[in-house]
Amino acid sequence: MAKPLNILFLSHRVPFPPNKGEKIRSFNELRHLSRNHQIHLLAFCDQPDELGHARELQKYCRTVTLIPLNRHVQYLRAATAMLRGRPWSLGYFNSPRMYTALQDLMRKESIDRIFVYCSSMAGYVEDIKGIPKILDFVDSDALKWRQYSEKRSAPSAWLYAYEARKLLQYEHHLIQTFDHSIFVSSRELSGHELKTSQDKVSFIQNGINLDFFKPGGGAGPSPGPGIAFTGAMDYYPNIDGVLYFANEIFPEIQKQCADAQFFIIGSRPVNSIRKLASIPGITVTGTVDDVRPFLSQCRVAVVPLRIAQGIQNKILEALASGLPVVTTPIAAGSLGNNPELPVTLASSPKLFAKHVLDYIHKAPLSSDAIQTARDYLSNHYSWHSNLAALDEIISAPLSNKKTGP
């Protein structure tokens, strides 16, 4: 076995608990790397209670440094970045405390590799020379902001268009300058004209824990046919998707299935989502300790996102739990039009409602259909198998000379 490496793992969010998209991927990457290497984690936390996750993360890391972000201060820094013609997301994640923590770590530890999770953190290590640097973009934030700009009205649309334009330039620069870049799928590069070797870019898909997500084992069926949506409910693409479903699709479903129940399962619901609880048949759960009991109550999962990048973990989780999924084409990505998966695409409210009703009126998925879907997930969305590529990237002898920031 190769000698363990000292790896700096730099993340824009605390990679724990693994209960939402960005944290699921970052946690699994961190845990995977910790099996053979020494991890030094530097990460921001949005909420004071996230500082308590340091103890759990110490199971996987040699050192853990979590730095709180003050949103009001960071908004000012984001505005300052714009005034300087830079992406405002870089300004938002700009923190003197993080720079100090990084410098202290580099003085104390002999770092062999730098792993950056999210392009917004890349600026902290851009000037470090001689240490191989790997950047997991996950998906293209520039393309996400472009979608935001197309869905919002002024002045938000202008701000998002500005960010999309500036960030696309910055992402292109990072692909050229980092030793290796990782994306969740090839479609994330649709806005880039690569002028670098394809050997410097890899695609690592997300995974699913099939031992955790499995059919049954929950609270039993809901009083009426249950429809599930899972996701953080302070995240704009989820907010937009749920409002779209609740206002334009669910009424059509209720016309033909009056006892249908729509469960919105996710943390920190904003006011517009909380108001939906006043509509008969809609339940807004807020934060839950475990989504599985709610999934087990439902007949079908919906992913009505109109803004989406990467791979939707909520689709993988629903399929692993034995549920069929109705989703928009943009959210389905590579999971759409697959005969081994009960995933149905719908591009209009009427068609979306029809497909949901079809699943409600049909018998639940057969055990054979569920097993076929789970076998497909096991073969294509295993964290262990997919992250084997990360081992090769990390272990590649890209550089020998090391210098501090």
Tens of pLDDT, residues 385-396: 999 999 999 998
* 159-164 contact pairs (CB < 8 A, 24+): 159/88, 162/82, 162/88, 163/87, 163/88, 163/89
CA distance 229 to 304: 9
Q: pLDDT at residue 403 above 60?
A: no
Averaged pLDDT for residues 331-352: 94
Longest Cα separation, the chain: 68
CA distances (Å), 119 to each of 52, 181, 192, in order?
Answer: 25, 10, 15
Structural domain 6-207+383-395, CATH architecture: 3-Layer(aba) Sandwich (3.40)
Per-residue model confidence (pLDDT) at position 405: 39
Per-residue model confidence (pLDDT) at position 222: 55
CA distances (Å), 160 to each of 177, 225, 297, 305, 315, in order?
Answer: 25, 39, 38, 18, 27
Per-residue model confidence (pLDDT) at position 372: 97
Averaged pLDDT for residues 240-256: 97
CB atoms under 10 Å from CB of 165, counted, come to 15
Q: Which residues contact 186 (CB under 8 A, 6 or more apart)?
A: 203
Q: Residue 219's beta-bridge partner residues?
A: none
The H or E element containing residue 43 is strand 38-45
Terminal CA-CA length for the chain: 30
Query: Which pairing describes strands 113-117 and 63-68: parallel, antiparallel, or unpaired?
Result: unpaired
In 101-145 the beta strands, taken as DSSP E runs, fall at 113-117, 133-138
Q: Quote the tokens at residue 229.
A: 């949506």
* 343-352 contact pairs (CB < 8 A, 24+): 343/315, 343/319, 349/244, 349/248, 349/249, 349/252, 350/252, 352/245, 352/249, 352/302, 352/304, 352/326, 352/328
Average pLDDT across the chain, whole number: 92
The reported pTM is 0.91
Comparison of pLDDT for 187 and 68, the residue scoring more: 68
Q: pLDDT at residue 401 above 50?
A: no
Averaged pLDDT for residues 250-275: 97
Alpha-carbon dihedral sign for residues 112, 115, 119, 121: negative
Q: pLDDT at residue 159 above 60?
A: yes
- Torsion angle (degrees, nearest 10) of CA 375, 213, 118, 175: 0
For 307-320, letters b (16+ CB in 10 Å) and e give bbbbbbbbbbbbbb
Per-residue model confidence (pLDDT) at position 183: 93
| C-alpha 311, offset from chain centre | 8
Q: Quote the tokens at residue 175.
A: 């692909």
Per-residue model confidence (pLDDT) at position 402: 39
Contact criterion met (CB below 8 Å) for 303 and 310: no
CB atoms under 10 Å from CB of 280, counted, come to 8
pLDDT digits (tens, 9 = 90+) for 171-185: 999 999 999 999 998
Which percentage of the chain shows pLDDT scores above 90?
81
CA distance 337 to 14: 35
Q: Start-end ranges of CATH 3.40.50.2000 in the chain?
A: 6-207+383-395, 226-380
Alpha-carbon dihedral sign for residues 320, 324, 327, 330: positive
Which percentage of the chain shows pLDDT scores above 70?
93
- CA count, 13 A, side-chain hemisphere, 379: 8
Q: Quote the tokens at residue 305.
A: 């996102």
Comparison of pLDDT for 150 and 198, the residue scoring more: 150
226-380: in CATH 3.40.50.300: no
CA distance 39 to 206: 21
Per-residue model confidence (pLDDT) at position 218: 59
| C-alpha 400, offset from chain centre | 33
Residue ranges of alpha helices (H) inside 204-312 are 236-244, 250-256, 271-274, 292-296
Contact criterion met (CB below 8 Å) for 259 and 359: no
Averaged pLDDT for residues 284-299: 93
Alpha-carbon dihedral sign for residues 40, 392, 201, 343: negative
